[in-house]
């Protein structure tokens, strides 16, 4: 245990761990030392001079090394003539800190006065007004009136885009460098810097494209003034008009805790709308951060194109119908289909939705199919991350393996936390066929060839330097993804990872186990509930009598087509939008967005977390689990269809991993460090305090000490492309054309066009140049895309991004030619 | 008396290696490396009473002894930034007596166990940097720098590094940042460079003039050096004399020389025979000393100058006569500091900007008392709150100017 140090702050005795800074020790004791540049998640720099305090240290006798005592027998204190910064001085035994002495208060007051000399004081039109540290600290510590002449204020640009997502108001900036330091220290994308000096000092973006980081939005949360604002929220509302609803981000398997800020407004016909997404503190999940996808890509739930009426196919056309007629039609078809019913659902749905869907399938003996082309969820049920796992605590002695995943693009917060763990001394092994950002922080980088995943992981358990780093680690986590893999390949990879962890006894305990970098927010929950993906979806579809597709668009994704219109199954689609799949449906059921209802998601780390309704439901829609229960009712099956909480309780009885959990348990909170929240804006930023629940981790079979055997690793025949052909492999990008990004106009530039990438030698071989549009023939489909170069891959490979309109779901043989040539032929 | 530092004034062509060596050059360094332990060199320098010539006057040997011997490698950085207005001594040393300076760098490096040393020059000194590069190359060719020196295991390389024209980079931690390729802004101290300096390693930063003393101290001994100057301030100092004197320039004199001797005996007196009104003993960051006979007869050493309410600093003596109004002088210093504030800490960044507005409008507004009071108040408010000493420096002339020469801030 760390040594404890006892000091006195404003007459209060405080005992804190050695090495803690005075400002944090004060905070722990409930004493607010005002700060601007200091942030508890970053190294102190002491530049704003707001936290000036008096610090007395016991006078030590140089000869005896003991404290010198005064006539009363108390240790004599030595104060420096200068005020000291509470943010740069670590605590020491016997220290006496005065934060409210006249001298300290005068120092703090003078800093506020200095800061305000060049501040525009445009609070009435400032987005930060109402949640602004400068505003609050001015009220608390500043002088009441200005001695600086208004006409002498420096006028600077108020409208400087630092990239398309974040705007800088140079007048409001107080040069605290929190944004610069966040990008450098926390995000690892050092893309901001200062330009000029003295009073002309200004923040600039150093990258091309500007502000090239997926964490950029966080800088607006920690900006202690209104200098940095998001293009999304800028001039959109005043903070005090906003309601706050707790939720979970649905963009990836991390499960970041978020807060939806909503407002009823005239602009949108008096509807309550989401104005912004803010991080909500959960130190075990996302700390106080979220990525830009989570922050800016929520607009799809408010799309004008949302379905708001059930539809029934009548005379070949989808026409409006009542809920009664639509559910009756669906229920009738499902009852008739019996064991030939296929329920196809995705991890976009909540645990409760998936549980009811699975229950409906089970009732008639049908199949529950997960809409995904990544395998391994059966293994995380057995040897997933143990309860108590916290990437934020892993460090020396721990080893983290990231295999076949580009975490920066697939799960940004995991990237950030794994990077931080490596910074604390954890051994990081990155195994990926191409270069990724995470490699910069890795102790060992393994670049294998696409197709060599299994062998690469098997080698980890063998005797070697890297092998020892894994095998002998006190704790070990493997995060596996689906870089370059389809269902078959990722299943094999997951299996070999599970075996490696199991064989080295890195399962069934905290900070050990397997984590899937899934493609959707609740894939882990779907697997847990009993959904499994199918390699050949088309075959399953073709054999079915009826299919119930929820939260998935296989037709739009090119994974299903109707081969024979007369022998096709009865199709029921439940979704937010009239997708390509819905257009082929016999019944369409309009679902509620997750922002309109309550429910739970299970993160890749197996943490079940609650989301709450943020906005009133779109009229005419129902939550998925309710719709399923109404369809079931038409089949004579009773499923809980009123309360998500009750569905969860039934599920908890049914599934040992969920045992003992209920909504109340998931809503439990405990105190977290650093302290954040509305009253502590100046300290932690505008991130929300977590009052609505930290969620709870699911148990796994290994931790329950159940007997189980891991499956054998299935040999996957490596695809060897013929001569003059390429091996096309899928890669994942954060910003893609997926449904959850539709309507995020702000991100349009970042999504860009689907590109493909080749090794420079391959480009030469095919006589194509970077930037040139090329024709790629995949699975019999020809698509055009601009070419990029990636010299970290092998020459026989072409990288194809998922969900960008190119039909790639697994490693596939492809041919490529330049368009110029194609046109010439 | 012959010069100790400005030896080029006595020995023609000392900037050629041959001449320098004929006059005992690099014997001191050779003696240190072949006959002395690093600790002995440090002890000798401690005993000599040599104090840092950059301004702070900290005992050089003591500074070296703070270096952390548990962490390696160590670095030596020669501070050749010389940005203080009124200071121009290091330039003359480097341009005219370069080998003695480089030998000093070498001795300091040996004393603290550094195998790499940097000479950090302000950007405007690019010609001096080129010149030093040539001299360093000559030394390497002559086997006086490089690997396995004098047949020992000790090796040393010296590199020059040019700044980009910022006053702040004369502050040692900002200088280290600048060498590391970062923005030149001061670091929080502690930790001091001796513990965590260049690239996070123990580092000694010494001024050019300080280092140039070392060969002579090693050659002639600590007692010889101590016998020059005063008990408190041993040795000689190059005084950069400027302002309203007839013969401005660098004067190498023992500590303890009086202001009067410097200004009248060496500097040829004040132009037009005017009386001295004020003295800035340490360049633009000085306090003003109200000149009178007693002041003029005060010895220039660290302790004596302090009795006048000022610091000797880098001994850049600016002489102000009765034709110069002090509000004009502080107008200059404030504009300088407003321009040169690095912008890192609030009081300096905002305070210098505020002071600039005040000093700009004070003469225009007819020396409004409220404005003068506010200027004094703003300057005082900045004191003891800045991140580095340079912020404090910007206030010295302002506070002492208004307090000691109130008549210059009143309507005539």
* pLDDT per residue as tens digits for the range A113-145: 999 998 999 999 999 999 999 999 999 999 989
Whether A174 sits inside 8 A of B346 (CB atoms) is yes
Once rounded to an integer, what is the mean pLDDT over residues A354-368?
97
Which residues from chain B sit within 8 angstroms of residue A114, using beta carbons?
Answer: 346-347, 349-351, 354, 381-382
Between CA A537 and CA A328 the distance in angstroms is 26
Are A198 and B340 an interchain contact pair (Cβ–Cβ within 8 Å)?
yes
Question: Closest Cα to residue A771, out of A786, A756, A790?
Answer: A786
Cα–Cα distances (Å) from A146 to A114, A119, A681, B357, B387, in that order, read: 10, 11, 24, 15, 24
Place of tokens 């002559």: B142
Shortest CB distance from B385 goes to which of A83, A197, A199?
Answer: A83
Closest CB from A49, A83, A154 relative to B346:
A49
Candidates A85, A88, A201; nearest CB to B349: A201
**A160 and B CB contact within 8 Å:** no
- And the tokens for A391? 């990437």
**Res. A146: pLDDT tops 80:** yes
CA angle, B283 as apex, B278 and B287 as ends, to 5°? Answer: 50
| Confidence band, pLDDT 50/70/90 cuts, at residue A825 | very low
pLDDT tens digits, one per residue of B192-226:
999 999 999 999 999 999 999 999 999 999 999 99
Residues in A touching B188 (Cβ below 8 Å): 44-46, 85, 88
Distance (Å, rounded) from C-alpha A177 to C-alpha A194?
A: 8
Confidence tier at A823 by pLDDT (50, 70, 90)? low
Closest CA–CA distance from residue B350 to any residue of chain A (Å): 6
Q: What is the pLDDT of residues B96-117, one digit of tens each?
A: 999 999 999 999 999 999 999 9
Residues in chain B with CB shorter than 8 Å from the CB of A149 are 357
Strand spans (E) along A542-602: 546-550, 570-575, 587-590, 599-602
Cβ neighbours of A198 in B, within 8 Å: 338-343, 349, 352-353
Picking from A82, A88, A199, the nearest residue to B353 by CB comes out as A199
A83 touches chain B (CB under 8 A): yes
Minimum CA–CA partner of B164 in chain A? A196
B381/A111 touch (CB, cutoff 8 Å), yes or no: no
In DSSP terms, A575 is beta-bridged to A590
Average pLDDT, rounded, for chain B: 96
User: Span A92-100, mean pLDDT?
Assistant: 96
pLDDT tens for residues A479-537?
Answer: 999 999 999 999 999 999 999 999 999 999 999 999 999 999 999 999 999 999 999 99
Asked if A768 has any chain B CB less than 8 Å from its own CB, the reply is: no
- Phi, psi (deg, nearest 5) at residue A184: -80, -55
Q: pLDDT over 90 for what percent of chain B?
A: 98
Q: Which residue has the higher pLDDT, B146 or A72?
A: B146
Q: Inform me whether the C-beta atom of residue A673 falls under 8 Å from chain B C-beta atoms.
A: no
The size of the A-B interface in CB pairs under 8 A is: 90
Facing residues of A67 across strands? A60
Read off the pLDDT of residues B243-275 as tens digits, 9 standing for 90 and up.
Answer: 999 999 999 999 999 999 999 999 999 999 999
Whether residue B381 and residue A110 make contact (CB cut-off 8 A), yes or no, is: yes
Whether the per-residue pLDDT at A777 is higher than 90: the answer is yes
What pLDDT is recorded for position B358?
A: 97
Please give the pLDDT value at position A752.
Answer: 87
Q: What DSSP designation does A311 have? A: E
ipTM: 0.94
Q: Who among A49, A147, A201 is closest to B385 (CB)?
A: A49
| Distances, alpha carbon B405 to alpha carbons A525, B288, B331, B400, in Å | 79, 9, 14, 8
Q: In A, which residues are within 8 Å of B191 by CB distance?
A: none
Residue A467 CA, chain-centre distance (Å), reads 30
Work out the minimum CA distance from B388 to partner chain A, whole angstroms.
10
Q: Mean pLDDT check: name the lowest of A501-515, A625-639, A808-822, B144-158.
A: A808-822
Cross-chain residue pair A49–B357, CB shorter than 8 Å: no
CA dihedral A720, A723, A724, A726 (to 10 degrees): 0
How far apart are alpha carbons B170 and B186 in whole angstroms? 10
Please give the structure tokens belonging to residue B410: 């009143």
Task: Write the pLDDT tens digit of every residue in B294-332.
Answer: 999 999 999 999 999 999 999 999 999 999 999 999 999
B284 closest CA partner among B126, B88, B122: B88
In this prediction the pTM is: 0.96
User: Is the model's pLDDT at B8 over the cut of 50?
Assistant: yes
Cβ–Cβ < 8 Å for A589, A572: yes
As a whole number, mean pLDDT of residues A322-326 equals 98
Average pLDDT, chain A: 95
Question: Can you give the pLDDT at residue A306?
Answer: 95
Question: Quick check: A821 pLDDT over 70?
Answer: no
Give the start-end residues of each E strand in A530-679: 546-550, 570-575, 587-590, 599-602, 607-611
Coil, strand or helix: which one is A734?
Answer: coil
In angstroms, the separation between the Cα of residue B69 and the nearest Cα of chain A is 21
Residue A671: pLDDT band by 50, 70, 90 thresholds?
very high
Q: Tens of pLDDT along A9-30?
A: 999 999 999 999 999 999 999 9
pLDDT above 70 covers a percentage of chain A that reads 99
Q: Is A515 helix (H, G, I), strand (E, B) or coil?
A: strand
Among the listed residues B164, B191, B188, the one whose alpha carbon sits nearest the alpha carbon of residue B178? B164
DSSP track, A198-210 = GGG-EEEE-SSST
DSSP for B97-157, written as a single string:
SHHHHHHHHHHHHHHHTEEEEEEEE-GGGHHHHHHHHHHHHHHHHTTSSBSSGGGSS--BE
10 Å CB burial of residue A310 (0-12, 13-18, 19+) is buried
Alpha carbons A338 and A344: distance in angstroms, whole number: 15
Q: Give residue-wise pLDDT tens across range B170-192.
A: 999 999 999 999 999 999 988 99
Mutate which of B341, B349, B376 to test chain A, going by most A C-beta atoms within 10 A? B349
For residue B362, which residues of chain A lie inside 8 Å, CB to CB? Answer: none
d(CA B204, CA B63): 8
- Give pLDDT tens digits for A238-247: 999 999 999 9
Partner residue opposite A115 with nearest CB, options B168, B339, B350: B350
In chain B, count H helices and then E strands: 17, 9
Name the pLDDT band for A719 (thresholds 50, 70, 90). confident
CB contact under 8 A, B385 and A107: yes
Q: Locate the chain B residue with the closest alpha carbon to A80.
A: B384
- The residue of chain A with its CA nearest to that of B356 is A152
Residues 6 or more apart whose CB falls under 8 angstroms from that of A303 comprise A576, A577, A742, A743
The arithmetic mean of pLDDT across residues B118-131, rounded, is 97
- Rounded to the nearest angstrom, the minimum Cα separation between B226 and chain A is 28
């Amino acid at each position: 245990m760390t040594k404890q140090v006892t000091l006195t702050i404003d007459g209060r005795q405080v005992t804190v761990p050695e090495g803690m800074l005075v400002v944090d020790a004060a905070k722990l004791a409930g004493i607010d030392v005002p700060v601007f540049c200091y942030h508890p998640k970053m190294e102190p720099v002491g530049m704003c001079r707001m936290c000036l305090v008096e610090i007395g240290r016991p006078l030590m006798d140089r000869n005896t090394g003991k404290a010198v005592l005064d006539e009363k027998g108390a240790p004599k204190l030595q104060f420096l003539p200068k005020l000291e910064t509470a943010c740069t001085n670590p605590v020491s035994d016997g220290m006496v800190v005065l934060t409210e002495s006249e001298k300290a208060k005068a120092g703090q007051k003078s800093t506020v006065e200095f800061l305000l000399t060049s501040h525009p004081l445009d609070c009435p039109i400032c987005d930060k007004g109402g949640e602004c540290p400068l505003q609050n600290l001015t009220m608390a510590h500043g002088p009441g009136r200005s001695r600086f002449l208004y006409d002498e204020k420096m006028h600077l640009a108020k409208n400087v885009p630092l990239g398309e997502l974040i705007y800088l108001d140079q007048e409001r900036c107080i040069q605290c460098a929190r944004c610069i330091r966040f990008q450098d220290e926390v995000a690892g994308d050092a893309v901001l810097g200062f330009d000029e000096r003295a009073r002309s000092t200004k923040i600039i973006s150093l990258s091309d494209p500007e502000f090239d980081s997926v964490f950029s939005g966080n800088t607006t949360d920690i900006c202690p003034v209104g200098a940095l604002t998001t293009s999304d929220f800028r001039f959109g509302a005043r903070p005090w008009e906003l309601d706050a609803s707790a939720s979970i981000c649905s963009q990836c398997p991390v499960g970041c805790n978020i807060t939806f800020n909503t407002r009823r407004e005239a602009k949108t016909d008096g509807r309550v709308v989401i104005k912004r997404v803010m991080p909500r503190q959960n130190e075990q999940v996302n700390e106080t951060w979220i990525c830009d996808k989570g922050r800016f890509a929520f607009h799809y739930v408010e799309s004008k194109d949302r379905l708001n009426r059930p539809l029934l196919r009548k005379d070949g056309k989808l026409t409006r119908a009542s809920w009664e007629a639509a559910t009756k039609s669906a229920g009738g078809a499902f009852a008739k289909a019996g064991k030939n019913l296929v329920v196809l659902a995705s991890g976009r749905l909540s645990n409760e939705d998936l549980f009811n869907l699975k229950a409906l399938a089970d009732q008639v003996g049908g199949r529950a199919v997960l809409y995904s082309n990544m395998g391994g969820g059966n293994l995380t049920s057995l040897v997933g991350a143990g309860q108590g796992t916290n990437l934020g605590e892993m460090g020396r002695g721990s080893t983290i393996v990231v295999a076949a995943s580009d975490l920066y693009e697939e799960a940004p917060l995991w990237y950030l936390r794994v990077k931080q763990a490596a910074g604390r001394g954890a051994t990081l092994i990155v195994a990926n066929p191409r270069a990724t950002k995470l490699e910069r922080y890795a102790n060992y980088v393994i670049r294998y060839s696409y197709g060599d995943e299994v062998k690469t992981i098997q080698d980890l358990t063998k005797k070697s330097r890297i092998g020892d780093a894994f095998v002998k680690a006190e704790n070990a986590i493997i995060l596996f993804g689906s870089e370059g893999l389809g269902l078959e390949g990722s299943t094999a990879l997951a299996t070999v990872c599970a075996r490696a962890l199991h064989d080295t006894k890195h399962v069934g305990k905290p900070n050990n186990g397997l984590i899937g970098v899934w493609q959707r927010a609740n894939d882990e929950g779907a697997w847990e509930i009993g959904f499994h993906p199918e390699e050949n979806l088309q075959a399953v579809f073709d054999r079915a009598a009826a299919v119930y597709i929820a939260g998935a668009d296989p037709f739009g994704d090119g994974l299903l087509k109707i081969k024979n219109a007369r022998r096709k199954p009865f199709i029921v689609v439940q979704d937010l939008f009239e997708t390509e799949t819905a257009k082929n449906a016999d019944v369409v059921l309009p679902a509620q967005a997750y922002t309109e209802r309550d429910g739970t998601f299970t993160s890749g780390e197996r943490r079940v977390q609650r989301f709450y309704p943020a906005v009133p439901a779109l009229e005419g829609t129902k939550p998925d689990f309710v719709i399923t229960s109404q369809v079931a009712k038409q089949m004579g099956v009773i499923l809980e269809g009123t309360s998500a909480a009750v569905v969860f309780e039934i599920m908890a009885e049914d599934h040992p991993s969920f045992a003992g959990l209920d909504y109340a348990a998931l809503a439990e909170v405990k105190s977290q460090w650093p302290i954040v929240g509305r009253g502590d804006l100046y300290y932690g930023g505008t991130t929300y305090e977590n009052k609505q629940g930290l969620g709870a981790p699911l148990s796994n079979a290994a931790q329950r000490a159940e007997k189980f055997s891991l499956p054998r690793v299935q040999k996957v025949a490596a695809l060897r492309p013929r001569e003059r052909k390429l091996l096309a492999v899928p890669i994942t990008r954060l910003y893609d054309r997926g449904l959850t990004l539709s309507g995020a106009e702000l991100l349009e530039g970042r999504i860009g066009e689907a590109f493909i990438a080749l090794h420079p030698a391959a480009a030469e071989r095919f006589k194509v140049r970077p930037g040139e549009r090329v024709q790629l023939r995949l699975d019999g489909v020809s698509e055009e895309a601009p070419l990029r170069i990636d010299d970290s891959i092998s020459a026989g490979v072409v990288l194809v991004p998922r969900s960008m309109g190119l039909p790639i779901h697994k490693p596939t043989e492809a041919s490529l030619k330049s368009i110029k040539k194609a046109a010439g032929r | 008396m012959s010069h100790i530092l400005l030896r080029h004034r006595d020995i023609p062509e000392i900037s050629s290696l041959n001449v320098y060596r004929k006059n005992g050059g690099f014997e001191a360094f050779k003696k240190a490396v072949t006959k002395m332990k690093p600790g002995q060199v440090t002890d000798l320098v401690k005993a000599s009473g040599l104090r840092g010539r950059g301004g702070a006057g900290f005992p050089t040997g003591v500074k070296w002894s703070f270096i952390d011997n548990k962490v390696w490698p160590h670095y030596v950085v020669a501070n050749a930034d010389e940005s203080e207005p009124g200071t121009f001594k290091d330039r003359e040393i480097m341009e005219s007596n370069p080998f003695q300076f480089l030998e000093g760098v070498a001795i300091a490096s040996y004393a603290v166990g550094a195998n790499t040393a940097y000479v950090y020059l302000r950007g405007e000194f690019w010609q001096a940097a080129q010149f030093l590069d040539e001299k360093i190359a000559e030394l390497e060719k002559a086997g006086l720098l490089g690997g396995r020196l004098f047949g020992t295991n000790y090796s040393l390389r010296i590199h020059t590094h040019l700044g980009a024209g910022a006053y702040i980079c004369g502050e040692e931690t900002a200088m280290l940042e600048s060498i590391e390729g970062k923005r030149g802004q001061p670091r929080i101290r502690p930790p001091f460079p001796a513990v965590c300096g260049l690239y996070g390693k123990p580092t000694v930063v010494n001024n050019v003039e300080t280092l140039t003393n070392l060969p002579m101290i090693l050659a002639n001994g600590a007692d010889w050096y101590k016998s020059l100057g005063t008990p408190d301030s041993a040795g000689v100092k190059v005084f950069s004399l400027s302002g309203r004197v007839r013969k401005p320039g660098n004067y190498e004199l023992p500590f303890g020389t009086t202001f009067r001797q410097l200004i009248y005996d060496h500097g040829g007196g004040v132009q037009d025979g005017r009386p001295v009104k004020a003295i800035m003993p340490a360049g633009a960051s000085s306090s003003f000393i109200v000149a009178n006979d007693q002041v003029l007869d005060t010895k220039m050493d660290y302790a004596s100058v302090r009795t006048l309410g000022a610091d000797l600093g880098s001994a850049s003596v600016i002489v102000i006569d009765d034709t110069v109004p002090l509000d004009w002088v502080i107008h200059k210093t404030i504009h300088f500091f407003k321009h040169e504030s690095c912008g890192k800490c609030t009081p300096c960044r905002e305070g210098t900007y505020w002071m600039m507005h005040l000093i700009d409008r004070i003469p225009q507004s007819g020396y409004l008392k409220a404005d003068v009071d506010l200027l004094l108040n703003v300057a005082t408010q900045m004191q003891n709150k800045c991140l580095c000493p340079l912020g404090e420096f910007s206030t010295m002339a302002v506070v002492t100017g208004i307090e000691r020469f109130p008549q210059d801030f009143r309507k005539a």
